[in-house]
A and B are shown apart, each in its own frame.
Chain A
């Protein structure tokens, strides 16, 4: 579903990603962990070209993102993204946030989009919040609306960029629960996270990134209980 080959990204002199190779199969849940500044978010953002890679190749569902002829807007419809700071549209209600993509991008009728929107709101447990504006919602609720907004485009892949980092602790659970449901339904997911519990429980694979390189990857229980690399051990000992 996702193939990353020799991906490099520099901001000026600063090399953020150094020759990253990664594959994500359909239905797989891959968690990317690592210290801050390791390039986790940048890697994720290269997968829908919110960051333009400096070198290498990214292939999503058979389509090369680095090919000049590729229409990135079409690829992005297949790749949903959830942001750390939710980035809901503050001038739109929860339902309008969800229906905007289908209506404007997919040219879906308003009625069909609203039906889809209400189904998705129900799925994230917010049926009663359809007509509420983002600022009237708690952080956890906002993030759940943001997940529903991304799902409204019926993507094949979902990218999560530290989706619970900006939340109060008591709201983390509700967002992770929604993500677990998604994973169970077979959604292909790439999750940048500090939630090791989630990575262990839901992840099919964990990738440890440090200084722009993949240091180690494997099944969650392998990485968490018997990390092979010293750096992985050092990182995990600090956070577990």
Chain B
């Protein structure tokens, strides 16, 4: 252990740090995505009271990922975490069709925030493994994503529990920031 950490210190070039904000309704799968990014077990997750934060290395970046609870009671606190955000990741439960309107409304509010002005947006259309999950293209249309002109955006279908699609989304994140 001792030797390894010394080697790591010698090697480490200063990675560029990115502040990533993970938002979405409760039960969208934010914490599962966070755990998936950190290559941690995703089977023991509990609802987030407050927030979780993890730092992960990826593609020459140090990603500081902030996962904020999505419960309605907690949403007013989201704004406390807007400052200096490099990337906004918004997570949607693609099978929870009944709450598409609610999630679309929350997203619209975020896009109007001054502090998130021009911040690139990645949308994870999560839970594609579930029966009845809407396709990413349908969700994009329903949310009117094509009308977004003031920032780079991308929608990525994924299944956080299996990890499928999560990496593709993060590749877009790193690519977008490098530009």
Do these two chains interact?
no
- Could you list which residues of chain B lie within 8 angstroms of chain A, going by C-beta atoms? none
